[in-house]
Every structure is written in C-alpha cells, then in structure tokens.
Amino acid sequence: MKRVALLIFIALTVYCAVSLAQETYQWVDDKGTVHFTDDVGKIPEKYQDQVKKKEPPPELAPAPKPSPSIRLPQGKAPPEPVVEKKDILGRGEDWWRDKAMEWREKLTKAQKDYEAAQTALKAKDRELGDAKFKPKSFQRKLQDEIKILEEKVNAQKNQVDEAKNMLEKVLPRQAEEYRADPSWVRVE
C-alpha cells in the first residue's frame, strides 16, 4: 500500500511540475466564462485581442539547450542562428500568410460571383425589355426575379468590399497590433 501511495505521489508531482512549466493563455468569452489553454490555435479569433499570457515561474521553465561547440577556423565568426520571427501570440509568417491567402481566395470567389450575378441581372433586364407585349403576369414575374437578382448583386458586392477591407485595412492593422511583420499580409 505504501508503494502505491508513493508511486501516485511521484506521478502527481511530476504531472504538476510539467503542467506548471507550460505557458498558458487566458480569455473571457461573451458569457463571462474564463477559459484557459496552452495552445494559441484553440483560442477563437474574436477573443485573440484580449488574451492574457501566463508565463511559467522561472524556476520551472525549461532550461535552454546548450548549443554544441563548433570549431571554426581562426578569425571567422560563428554563423548567426536563424530565428523565425513570430508575433506576440507566437504565430509565425506561415499563419499570417495563410490568413491573407484565405481572404484573397474569398475576394476572388466574391468577385466571380458578383460578375455572374451582374450578368444574370442584365440578361433578366433584357428579357423584361423584350416582354413588352407579353401578359402583365409574366412581366411581374420577371420584375420579381430582377429584384431577387439585384439583392444577390448587392450581397456579392458587400462580400467583395468585406474581403478588400480585410486585405487592405484589417489584416495589416492586426499584424501591427500583434507585432507581426507587415510584409506577411501584403496584398500582391
């Protein structure tokens, strides 16, 4: 019995030490619920601006690994280590480029859908113009279809505007706020 208790005690001690040594992130949702995670990717995007990072105490933080010693010819400096740049939440260039690419794809799709809706609207307008001598009920049906197409054109235009706004204003501003390299989200 004493061995089992001792093993449980050791396991709990190791588990606590490992969990305390990890960085954790805290945020509060719309309902006031406090959430914690150790993975930045699990934080919903709309709460990322209010995340509080909790650092592990210095005595529990993992020690940096010593670099192997390299013998260089006399007079040559060691090569500079390549350090990947990250924003304040630990997201690198790939994350920001993926986000910008996602919005570029949304913009391209919205522009195609907008053009298709405009083409359909113009065709329906021509059809209504050609229906002057057709029954009034047919003309009313065409007018109703035109209204629906006009709403679709406006909705597609709004999606185009939203995607352009994200690419030209919102993402660059977010990159600046999170101290990411602005070139990661530039529209090309």
* pLDDT tens digits along 116-167: 999 999 999 998 888 888 898 988 998 999 999 999 999 999 999 999 998 8
What is the rounded average pLDDT for all residues in the chain?
79
> Do 100 and 30 belong to one domain?
no
CB 119 within 8 A of CB 68: no
| Residue 178 near residue 89, CB atoms below 8 Å | yes
User: Considering the entire predicted model, what is its pTM?
Assistant: 0.53
In this predicted structure, what is the pLDDT of residue 91? 85
Taking only the tens place, the pLDDT of each residue in 72-98 is 566 666 666 666 788 888 888 888 888
**Tokens 């601006």 appear where?**
49
Range of the domain at 181: 88-188
Task: Detail the DSSP E strand segments found in the chain.
Answer: 24-28, 34-37, 52-54
Q: At residue 71, does pLDDT exceed 80?
A: no
First to last CA, the chain: 68
Is residue 69 a part of any domain in this protein?
A: no
Number of domains in the chain: 2
Residue 79 lies in a domain: no
For residues 171 and 126, membership in a common domain is answered with yes
Find tokens 């350090």 and name the residue.
Answer: 83
State the Cα–Cα distance between residues 127 and 130, nearest whole angstrom. 5
DSSP codes joined into one string, 41-75: GGS-GGGGGG-EEEPPPTTTSPPPPPPPP----TT
Tell me: do 39 and 125 sit in the same domain: no
What is residue 82's predicted lDDT score, i.e. its pLDDT? 62
Look at residue 3 in the predicted model and tell me its pLDDT: 78
State which H helix or E strand residue 109 sits in: helix 93-130
Residue 68 lies in a domain: no
Q: Do 124 and 145 meet the contact criterion of CB atoms below 8 Å apart? A: yes
The DSSP letter of residue 38 is S
Give yes or no: residues 40 and 119 share one domain: no
User: What is the percentage of the chain residues whose pLDDT exceeds 90?
Assistant: 26
